Structures are given as C-alpha cells and as structure tokens.
Chain A
Amino acid sequence: NAGVTQTPKFQVLKTGQSMTLQCAQDMNHNSMYWYRQDPGMGLRLIYYSASEGTTDKGEVPNGYNVSRLNKREFSLRLESAAPSQTSVYFCASAPVEIFSNQPQHFGDGTRLSIL
C-alpha cells in the first residue's frame, strides 16, 4: 500500500553508536515530520521539513539531526546515541507545504533501544 515507510522497524544500539532512521513517502507530500513517542508523553515533534530543502526544529531536537534528501525522503540521525533516546520514532507526512488542515499520514514506527 502507498504511504509512509520507515526503516528499520526495530534497532538496538549501544550508547555512543550512531545510526540513521530512514523515512520515505510516495504520496507526493511536501511536508515531513519526525516524532518520538514515550510512555505517557504522547508524540513530541523532533524536526520537521515544511518543503524540500527546508528543515526546522521541533520541541525536542537535541541529539538529533535530519536531512531532507529529496521530496520523498526525510532521514533522522542520532550521532551519539544515549539511553534517553530509547523511544518509538514515527515519521509522518502531510500533503501541503504547511501542516494546515490536512491530516498527517504516519509510518508504522521504529522501536529504538539504546543500551
């Protein structure tokens, strides 16, 4: 099915290791987002990209970097993983340049554990 694809689905890292979470959408959406979900905290925005070539910080950007590689792909990088970054990460996309009144389409999530 068309939608938002995240890879990997699961990952275990050691403290200090780096990794990149990949996200791709095939709906020709302009906006893409990265969230983290922690128990009892809801979804918190890490970074977003309103359109190809632009990225902005969200609520919890520290420890992360992002790249909007092209219109389809938006990656999230952890340069030096810390146990506090253990979480479920969701990528989302929306069909207009700004979030506006369109719903976001979410990927299935990446469960990341940092030991």
Chain B
Amino acid sequence: AQKVTQAQTEISVVEKEDVTLDCVYETRDTTYYLFWYKQPPSGELVFLIRRNSFDEQNEISGRYSWNFQKSTSSFNFTITASQVVDSAVYFCALSEVAAGGSYIPTFGRGTSLIVHP
C-alpha cells in the first residue's frame, strides 16, 4: 500500500515570508516517483516537479525548491519570498509500481497556502 501525508491542511503567511510545505510518503518499493502539483483558485492542476527515487538531489526553480530525503521519506516543498499569486492548494503525489507492472498515483489531501499581501 502507498500513502502520502500532507499534515498541514492550511498555511497562512504574509507576502515575502518563506514557507515550507511538508510531504511524507510510505512505500515498500525501491522504485517510485514523487510529484508536486499546484491547484490555484481557478481550479486547474498544474504540474510543478517530478522526482524519481534514485535521484535525491535537491532542486531549485526560481523561488521554488524541493528537498527529497529518502531517510525520512519526505519530499518537502519550499517557496522563498512568497507572493500572493502563490496562494493555492498544493498536492504531493506518489507513484509506485502496482500489480501488473503499471504505476498508480496516489495524491495527498493537499495543503492550502494563503499568502496575504
């Protein structure tokens, strides 16, 4: 079984603050993939990043950075100098190999980030 836990239901920050969204996962597989998606108030789902289980390098993309630590089964997402436009629900997802060889994704319940001006 696989499980993704986003313990923070809602986070509220003031613009320009840094904020970290936590994601903890459970899996028995050695090969798996982790993702982050953003869902702004308009409702669409926007892909942010993919990471496979063999690549623990942290990644930075502009104000966004991701910290993947297999030792703690975590894939945390940090926004530096947050902006109002970052207000959204953020989903962490895990994909591992299911019976029959296909990959089935599981999403966390999401963290709602509210950035106040």
B45 touches A90 (CB 8 A): yes
A48 touches B104 (CB 8 A): yes
A42 touches B43 (CB 8 A): no
Q: How large is the interface on B (under 10, 10 to 19, 20 to 34, 35 or more residues)?
A: 20 to 34
8 Å CB interface, A93-113 against B = 97-106, 108-109
Which single member of A43, A45, A58, A101 contacts B52 (CB below 8 Å)? A101
Question: What number of A-B contacts does a CB cutoff of 8 Å give?
Answer: 59
SS class of chain B's interface: helix, strand, loop or mixed?
strand
**Smallest Cβ-Cβ distance to A58: which chain B residue:** B104
**Smallest Cβ-Cβ distance to B31: which chain A residue:** A101
Q: How far is the CA of A109 from the CA of B106 in the complex (A)?
A: 18
Task: Show the binding face of B for A, using Cβ within 8 Å.
Answer: 6, 9, 33, 35, 43-45, 47, 50, 52, 91, 93, 95, 101-110
Task: Show the binding face of A for B, using Cβ within 8 Å.
Answer: 33, 35, 40-45, 48, 50, 56, 58-59, 88, 90, 92, 97-106, 108-109
29 contacts between A and B (CB under 8 A): A40-B109, A40-B110, A41-B109, A42-B91, A43-B93, A43-B107, A44-B107, A45-B106, A48-B104, A50-B102, A56-B102, A59-B106, A90-B45, A97-B102, A98-B101, A98-B102, A98-B103, A99-B95, A99-B102, A99-B103, A99-B105, A100-B103, A101-B50, A101-B95, A103-B35, A103-B47, A104-B105, A109-B43, A109-B44
